[in-house]
Chain A
Amino acid sequence: MPYVIHLLIMVSIYSILALSLNLVVGFTGLVFVAAAAFFGIGAYVTAIVMTSFGFNFFLACIVGALFSALIAFAIGAVLSKFRGDYYTLASVGFNIIIYSVFLNWQTVTRGPLGIPGIPRPSIFGLSFSDNFSFLILASLLVILVFLACRFIEQSSFGRVLRAIREDEKAVSVFGYEVLYFKLATFVVAAAFSAFAGSLYASYITFIDPSTFFVNESIFILAVVILGGLASNRGAVLGAAVLVLLPEALRFVGFPPDIAAQMRQVVYGLLLVILMMYRPQGLMGEYKL
């Protein structure tokens, strides 16, 4: 049972990451490969203000989200100069920069040593120190982010985002300042990703830079694409599938000496087959 709870917590964290990234990739059409950067910013800010300044988790969460939003505002303005493949490459560059900051700004982040001893959340005498109560907290946060994303999706704002995804020059002729819409979406998505980082830091109680490299961003992007672009339910389903599938493959019964490699091969193969036969993802309608 603790194993299942652990997996569900990880599904929750990746659901939040996928829901946030879906706003940028699925709804706005920007192939952003640096979700792990905002994930990391949230995690590091939370870890630092909790361990060094004694902040409560929930306050740390808000500080992390605000900090992440601020960085997103600055970076978003720069990234908006790029289009298509160049945008994607620039976002990878941004992820590498943030990773380098985590790794090298040792006086603040402790570099490769990471930050240990991050406390679990508690509020008004209510502690989330055991994994089951933490799962409830994580699930509540998933529901909040899900509802926020659905609110955005169903508003006129959401329709404009989809139009930007389809043809941003055409939509601008109808009076929309596209940059503001993209920037607003980017900032909101960064804040939501930071929530996931806060949860992660407090759950694992230790963070180091290796969790927030580009490969993590690619994984989060894979979750969004597999679940279905521009589908909030798809983002959650994608997180569940990609987090649980490698675990399920543990029970397949491969020969012990090649089990780990075989799991990776089957996992990769399943993704390739799925993308071949359902390129719009499990629950999406939109194709990149």
Chain B
Amino acid sequence: MPIIETKHLYKHFDGVRAVDHLSVAFEKGQITSVVGPNGSGKSTLVNLLTGMIPVDGGEIVVAGSVRFTKIKSHEVKDYGITRTFQDVRLFEQMPVLDNVLVVLTERGVFASLFEKHSPYHLEKAEEVLRRVGLWGKRHELALGLSYGQRKLLEIARVLATDADTILLDEPFAGLFPEMLKVVVDICKELKVKGKTLILIEHNMDLIRELSDHIYVLDAGKLLAEGKPQSVLARRDVIEAYLGE
């Protein structure tokens, strides 16, 4: 059963159709990749699914039953959805540990006012920061981290939320091989745990290795879909992607 579906989803920017009546479905417990050349609408799709930008048309269906044409970014957590960002967005002038704790504690105004993080929150933060190898840097400000470490901190933040559906926007870009292995292993572990992963990525080798299903977008439209091996071998996909 799809955990998220889009039906004729539409978004334009100043007349340019960034996502053009797109209908795709992301199956529960699978890794689905969305690929396509720059400007094909991949990140716009993620931004629409997470309420970062308003939908212009069509609808989003969550878990087969919740249909909406408008969603606010603070509501996506209620649907068990979380994400990372293409341009890494950390809480820069906060310690690494606080970057994780902030996604673990109370969401309500009054509840959070009378709460300090508990040993449970600290344990969870330690677990995810150790998983990405950043526990030793927990007291450093996020802005002092290298690019790869910043990506790993975003992954740690996502792991801490324990969300069922995770949208990863170019998680492997700019990572050293050791860091890349950590993120790839995390993706595999999340799949084993039954999480749904939506991957926006350009690394075709990793897409072949990890994906159960892929969608290829071009100019906001669906160009192809299916198993990675067959879709990525298609002539029209290669032409769209490489401009050949």
Asked if A166 contacts B90 (CB within 8 A), the reply is: yes
- Closest chain-B Cβ to A172's Cβ sits at a distance in Å of 4
Q: With A154-B116, A156-B112 given, is the CB distance from A174 to B103 under 8 Å?
A: yes
Asked if B94 contacts A156 (CB within 8 A), the reply is: no
Is A177 in contact with chain B by the CB < 8 A criterion? yes
Instruction: List residues of chain A with CB within 8 A of the CB of B117.
Output: 156, 159
Asked if B116 contacts A166 (CB within 8 A), the reply is: no
Instruction: List residues of chain A with CB within 8 A of the CB of B116.
Output: 154-156
Is A270 in contact with chain B by the CB < 8 A criterion? no
Closest to B75 in A: A175
Is A162 in contact with chain B by the CB < 8 A criterion? yes
Is B23 in contact with chain A by the CB < 8 A criterion? no
Interface of A is mostly: helix
Asked if A155 contacts B113 (CB within 8 A), the reply is: yes
Instruction: List residues of chain B with CB within 8 A of the CB of A167.
Output: 89-92
Give A163 to B142 CA distance when docked, in angstroms: 12
B interface, how many residues as a size bin?
A: 20 to 34
Q: With A174-B102, A174-B103 given, is the CB distance from A162 to B114 under 8 Å?
A: no
Closest to B103 in A: A174
Closest to A170 in B: B89
Question: Residue-by-residue, is A152-185 near B (CB-CB < 8 Å gives 1, otherwise 0)?
Answer: 1011110110110111011111111110110010
Give A174 to B51 CA distance when docked, in angstroms: 11
- Closest chain-A Cβ to B87's Cβ sits at a distance in Å of 11
What are 28 A-B interface contacts by the 8 Å CB criterion?
Answer: A154-B116, A156-B101, A156-B105, A156-B115, A156-B116, A156-B117, A157-B109, A157-B112, A159-B98, A159-B105, A159-B117, A160-B105, A162-B93, A162-B94, A163-B91, A165-B93, A166-B91, A166-B92, A167-B91, A167-B92, A169-B52, A170-B90, A173-B73, A174-B82, A174-B161, A175-B74, A175-B76, A177-B107
